[in-house]
Amino acid sequence: MLKRVLTIAGSDSGGGAGIQADLKTFCAFGVYGMTAITAVTAQNTHEVLSITALNPAAVYNQIKAIAEDIGVDAVKTGMLFNAEIIEAVVEAIKNFSLPQLVIDPVMVSKSGRYLLESEAIHSFKEKILPHAQVVTPNLNEASVLSGISVLTPDEMKQAARIIHQMGPKYVLIKGGHLAGEEMMDILFDGKKDVIFPVQRQMTKNTHGTGCTYSAALASLLALGYDVLAAVKIVRRYMDIVIRYSLSLGKGFGPTNHLAPLFLKCGLNPEKGGWNW
Largest CA distance in the chain: 50
33 is an active site residue: no
- Residue tagged active-site, from 3, 77, 175, 211: 211
Tell me the C-alpha distance between 123 and 84, whole Å: 9
Single out the residue of 93, 52, 94 nearest to residue 76, CA to CA: 93
Marked catalytic residue, from 206, 212, 253, 255:
206
Cα 80 from Cα 77, distance rounded (Å): 7
Catalytic residue among 15, 18, 174, 175: 174
152 is catalytic: no
Which string of DSSP letters, residue by residue, matches 117-158? Answer: -GGGHHHIIIIIGGG-SEE---HHHHHHHHSS---SHHHHHH
- To the query of whether residue 174 is one of the catalytic residues in this protein, the response is yes
**Cα dihedral angle (50, 173, 178, 204), rounded to 10 degrees?**
-40
CA distance 150 to 160: 10
Catalytically annotated residue among 210, 212, 253, 255: 210
* β-sheet with 183-188: strand ranges across: 48-53, 32-43, 4-12, 74-77, 101-103, 134-135, 170-173, 183-188, 193-198
211 flagged as catalytic: yes
Question: DSSP string spanning 41-90?
Answer: EEE-SS-EEEEEEPPHHHHHHHHHHHHHHT--SEEEE---BSHHHHHHHH
Select which of 16, 78, 208, 253 is catalytic. 208
Which of 77, 136, 209, 212 is catalytic? The answer is 209
Active site residue 232: no
Residue 41 CA to residue 48 CA, distance in Å, equals 7
Residues known to be catalytic: 174, 206, 208-211
